[in-house]
Amino acid sequence: MAERRLECDVAVVGAGPAGLSAAKAAAAAGARVVLLDPQPRPGGQVWRNDIVHGMPAPSLALQAALYASPTTALLMRSEVIAASKGVLYVRADGDGVELRHAALVLATGARELLLPFPGWTLPGVTGAGGAQALAKQGWPLRDKRVVVAGSGPLLLAAGRTLQAHGARVLAILEQAALADVGMFACGLWRWPRKALQAATIRAELWRTPYRCDSHVVRAIGEDRLRAVQVRIGGRIKTIECDQLACGFGLVPNVELAQSLGCELAYDGAHPRVVVDDWQRTSVDGVYAAGEACGIGGLDCAEVEGAIAGHVAAAMLDSARALWSRRRHARRFAAQLRQHFELQKHVRALADDDTIVCRCEDVPMSAIPVHMQAREAKLATRCGMGACQGRVCGTALAELRDIRRSGFRPPIFPVSLEVLAGFGQDDPANPFQGVER
Ligand SMILES: Cc1cc2nc3c(=O)[nH]c(=O)nc-3n(C[C@H](O)[C@H](O)[C@H](O)COP(=O)(O)OP(=O)(O)OC[C@H]3O[C@@H](n4cnc5c(N)ncnc54)[C@H](O)[C@@H]3O)c2cc1C
């Protein structure tokens, strides 16, 4: 295995809308940019390549600009597993690569919040965004009966994608109250592009009932999902279906920022990266943009990414010119938080026997109410599996307000062979001493 070392002016982690915009802005100023992402194609979550329907035009335009830039390199199938001052440790196609940089933009996006309920680990149950991602990658859905549930505008977007791939979307169940969703919809005139998008999606899904104040109670089946018990308004009902796509909103991916020592703040139970007007984090030379800094949607991610890219390349006037656009986009983020807040009863769906950590098969009853994250890990192995607590740790933060105090690299599970490939003469290398 060849050890590889690369150098650039601006390293951008994450090729979603925020990362692509940051890379484009920095490259426009002549900076040498490297953009990394584990996916085979750029686009992040919202612009994930769809093998049937392709990619949206704005994503293609951004990518074309980057591929045409002589100073930009895109490292796809590459994930950052650790970082120290000025160096990223990257697993690139099974190899270890060290990327030295002058400035770093963290655009690591968000993941779904999955809350446990009886039956949620049955085959046939996924997240709402997870189902959408699978559909775009070719998961066979023709004539499958799907229920979409959880919270937030992602439910409609997921329903549309699943329908476009041939699924019969039987119902969309939103846990937020009708009054809240109504107020959110009435305020959308301030963001005409979003209002149009919402109306278009709703029109495409005209046959599918959209119910507020509604949520999943349990998934039913023996070796796979057969039906789902739901509460619609005040009434319990059973719907026979093949798939359940259930997600309760999004939470920022902050692990890399956390391991670099960037300051975090909490929106409810979940941390986000703190940035100033220039998208600077509390660590010198490290910027952050997009959903890692709080859930704000596509427009917010794009404009924050552009500001971070301009500032990382010392183009402060170009960055300042985007501040009012960012203010407008962030107002939308505040609306999202306010109107799709989780109601108390969705935090009480799991019973004692419900598995909370599905990597290590830990039931809710094994985690007493006041247990801390570290204690839960040591006593029950909760959070020690392949997802490294991304699913169960996030759920427990929401359900029990259990917060993680730190994050030790590697950020993703990785082979010792890759770790041993990083320069053993580098004192900053967190994997110094790892042998093949
Ligand atoms: C599953 C899911 C589906 C969604 N679907 C929609 C939708 O249909 N419509 C919509 O409007 N919004 C959707 N969203 C919301 C959407 O994420 C945002 O609006 C927008 O994509 C945020 O852009 P971003 O660049 O901040 O993050 P993202 O688009 O999430 O991009 C972040 C990128 O960072 C990469 N990354 C993370 N950690 C590392 C690391 N350590 N090393 C290298 N790369 C890393 C990820 O692979 C990802 O590609 C979805 C969100 C999720 C989680």
Q: Would the CB of 39 count as within 6 Å of ligand 1?
A: yes
pLDDT tens for 89-104 read 999 988 899 999 999 9
Task: List, in order, residues 6 or more apart from 95 with CB less than 8 Å away.
Answer: 1, 2, 4, 418, 421
pLDDT at position 157 is 97
Q: Would the CB of 35 count as within 6 Å of ligand 1?
A: no
Give 99 Cα–ligand 1 centroid separation in angstroms: 22
Residue scoring higher pLDDT (13 or 406): 13
Give 148 Cα–ligand 1 centroid separation in angstroms: 20
Give 295 Cα–ligand 1 centroid separation in angstroms: 10
Q: How confident is the model at residue 369 (pLDDT cuts 50, 70, 90)?
A: confident
Residue scoring higher pLDDT (269 or 428): 269
List beta partners, residue 245. 126, 148
Q: Would the CB of 83 count as within 6 Å of ligand 1?
A: no
pLDDT at position 115 is 97
Determine the average pLDDT of the residues in 331-336. Answer: 93
Q: Would the CB of 390 count as within 6 Å of ligand 1?
A: no
**In whole angstroms, what is the distance from residue 232 CA to residue 209 CA?**
11
Determine the average pLDDT of the residues in 23-33. Answer: 97
Mean confidence (pLDDT) of the chain:
93
Residue 436 pLDDT more than 80? no
Give 291 Cα–ligand 1 centroid separation in angstroms: 7
Using most ligand atoms within 8 A of CB, pick from 45, 55, 194 the residue to mutate for ligand 1.
Answer: 45
Residue 233 pLDDT more than 50? yes
Q: How confident is the model at residue 403 (pLDDT cuts 50, 70, 90)?
A: confident
Residue where the block lists tokens 């990658």: 137
**In whole angstroms, what is the distance from residue 399 CA to residue 50 CA?**
34
Which of 212, 235, 237 is closest to 227 using CA atoms?
237
Give 136 Cα–ligand 1 centroid separation in angstroms: 14
pLDDT tens for 238-262 read 999 999 999 999 999 999 999 999 9
Q: How confident is the model at residue 434 (pLDDT cuts 50, 70, 90)?
A: confident
Residue 376 pLDDT more than 90? no
Helix (H, G, I), strand (E, B) or coil at 76: strand
pLDDT tens for 107-164 read 999 999 999 999 999 999 999 999 999 999 999 999 999 999 999 999 999 999 999 9
Q: Would the CB of 126 count as within 6 Å of ligand 1?
A: no
Hey, how many other C-beta atoms are within 10 angstroms of the C-beta on 416? 11
Using most ligand atoms within 8 A of CB, pick from 59, 63, 108, 390 the residue to mutate for ligand 1.
Answer: 108
Q: Would the CB of 255 count as within 6 Å of ligand 1?
A: no
**In whole angstroms, what is the distance from residue 339 CA to residue 312 CA?**
34
Determine the average pLDDT of the residues in 300-307. Answer: 98
pLDDT tens for 119-131 read 999 999 999 999 9
Model-level pTM? 0.95
Q: Would the CB of 155 count as within 6 Å of ligand 1?
A: no
Residue scoring higher pLDDT (230 or 4): 230
Determine the average pLDDT of the residues in 326-341. Answer: 94
What is the DSSP code (8-state) at residue 187?
Answer: G
pLDDT at position 121 is 97
Q: Would the CB of 162 count as within 6 Å of ligand 1?
A: no
Residue 169 pLDDT more than 90? yes
Percent of the chain with pLDDT over 70: 99
pLDDT at position 2 is 46
Atom 48 of ligand 1 has which residue's CA nearest to it? 44
Percent of the chain with pLDDT over 90: 82
Helix (H, G, I), strand (E, B) or coil at 23: helix
Q: Which atom of ligand 1 is nearest to the CA of 81?
A: 41
The values of phi and psi at residue 190, to 5°, are: -75, -15
Residue scoring higher pLDDT (370 or 398): 398
pLDDT at position 413 is 87
Q: Which atom of ligand 1 is nearest to the CA of 247?
A: 1
Determine the average pLDDT of the residues in 396-414. Answer: 82
pLDDT tens for 277-292 read 999 999 999 999 999 9
Atom 9 of ligand 1 has which residue's CA nearest to it? 46
Helix (H, G, I), strand (E, B) or coil at 174: strand
Determine the average pLDDT of the residues in 403-425. Answer: 82
Which of 167, 188, 325, 329 is closest to 244 using CA atoms?
167
Among positive and negative, which fits the CA dihedral 389, 23, 44, 154?
positive
pLDDT at position 1 is 45
pLDDT at position 8 is 97
